[in-house]
Structure 1
């Protein structure tokens, strides 16, 4: 269940999907509600708006460095951080990661398979996982693929506008499996996908969610999907 970190508690990985703040090129579109930015106008169900998605590039970089610096203190040495990003924020996220004290280790891609088509040019079908480590990379553990092909969450299973598939996050969580009792922190828990994925692998996870409405959705989802 989502809970607060205990004083002195340390984690083996930060796995999270922070707000991208990239849903528009101008202030008017950036400040729009997330339900309007990330859902089509003909959507049958409106998802709750999530917070922190209205920053410009400079403030997004500063904000990202602040919360990543705090997470740096919560990680064990040689712990791993995995951050989701889209193509617009990819350079900013890699800068923030290093500015917060992590060593940038690379980028993996997520092929969303059923992304909406784009007329002319290339479909925006991929998002990315920027990953790094606190100090040297672990040097042991499973070798994860550098690309994942998992369909977007759709229909009744989708309760959050930016919801990631449990199958995808489960694969990412495997980066901690070489520890005897791994612990994962998700500081942007959203609908609780990381918590569900970790629990399915027998991994302890802590989630933090600022929106009380979305946190309630996560709690209900976890109670429903985990006996």
Structure 2
């Protein structure tokens, strides 16, 4: 097994390609490795708004992508894969996760709808490989993306709940949270595309998660939320810069993740 980049009593963070590390975890078949997965992969925004491989978020000095101009850091991922390759990659990752979680496990998969050349592009064409979609949760970000005269400004993203047959929520009060989560946005811009820690905290708490995993750990938001809730977790991150950022967050004595509500 690969050596952890960071480890404490409740968190293990690996620096590496998620496909390779997930393969090692799956072959080891550690039962406690991943009861609930909460993750937000790169969205392939380098091709938005689409066409000719030169989207508005593709890294480069002259684009409009702002915080995406340098990709995801360290040159590891420019977020501009050919769309069929990106979709196949994500289905493969989901397949490994699906194999890893137990029969009562689930994957909370955060992605978004995009409008390209007047047509909606749904996440992975709504084909998640072997993973079974049980529900779509709407994350109300509270602020818009892409004001244009051609369509309504996007103020929400989706969290696809991909659930194994025996997965259940903690109780009826967890179900009562509803399928629209008004959580706002993460205000820390040290990572170009992080979600608020209240998002994984809510998913883990509502699921009574025994353990958590994030294969695209970024700056460690899922791991921070899991640690604050007393849930053991595993993270995988390809960028060493973000591994270092996550390690510093996790090493703090006081963890403020904004609560579960």
Normalised-by-shorter TM-score class: 0.7 to 0.9
Which one of 184, 193, 196 corresponds to residue 162 of structure 1? 193
What CA distance in whole angstroms lies between the structure 1 residues aligned with 2:65 and 2:205? 29
1:84, CA displacement in angstroms?
Answer: 0.6
**Structure 2 residue 133 is matched with structure 1 residue 104:** yes
What CA distance in whole angstroms lies between the structure 2 residues aligned with 1:47 and 1:61? 19
**Structure 2 residue 77 is matched with structure 1 residue 51:** yes
What CA distance in whole angstroms lies between the structure 2 residues aligned with 1:163 and 1:34? 21
- Residue 30 of structure 1 contacts residue 54 of structure 1 at CA under 8 Å; is this kept in 2? no
Superposed CA deviations along residues 185-218 of structure 1, whole A, max 9, x for unmatched, are 1000001000111112111111000111111111
Residues matched between the structures, number: 216
2:66 maps to 39
Instruction: Note the residue ranges of structure 1 that are not aligned, 5 or more in a row.
Output: none
Which one of 202, 207, 213 corresponds to residue 171 of structure 1? 202
**Structure 2 residue 185 is matched with structure 1 residue 152:** yes
Superposed CA deviations along residues 159-208 of structure 1, whole A, max 9, x for unmatched, are 1000111122211222331x5xx001100000100011111211111100
Normalized per residue, which structure has more helix?
1
1:76-95 correspondence runs (5 A)? 76-88=102-114, 90-92=122-124, 94-95=126-127
1:29, CA displacement in angstroms?
Answer: 2.1
What CA distance in whole angstroms lies between the structure 1 residues aligned with 2:241 and 2:179? 34
What CA distance in whole angstroms lies between the structure 1 residues aligned with 2:39 and 2:211? 13
Superposed CA deviations along residues 71-130 of structure 1, whole A, max 9, x for unmatched, are 11210112111101111353416302xx1x222101011111133572434221101101
- Residue 173 of structure 1 contacts residue 198 of structure 1 at CA under 8 Å; is this kept in 2? yes
What CA distance in whole angstroms lies between the structure 2 residues aligned with 1:147 and 1:201? 22
**Structure 2 residue 43 is matched with structure 1 residue 17:** no
1:48, CA displacement in angstroms?
Answer: 5.3
What CA distance in whole angstroms lies between the structure 1 residues aligned with 2:60 and 2:178? 31
1:225, CA displacement in angstroms?
Answer: 6.1
Deviates more, 1:136-145 or 1:206-215: 136-145
Do the aligned partners of residues 117 and 103 (structure 1) sit closer, same or farther apart at CA in structure 2, a change above 3 Å counting?
closer
Which one of 246, 249, 258 corresponds to residue 218 of structure 1? 246
Do the aligned partners of residues 140 and 152 (structure 1) sit closer, same or farther apart at CA in structure 2, a change above 3 Å counting?
closer
When the two structures are superposed, what TM-score results if normalisation uses the length of structure 1?
A: 0.82
Deviates more, 1:82-91 or 1:125-134: 82-91
What CA distance in whole angstroms lies between the structure 1 residues aligned with 2:253 and 2:138? 27
2:91 maps to 65
1:8 maps to 29
What CA distance in whole angstroms lies between the structure 1 residues aligned with 2:88 and 2:225? 30
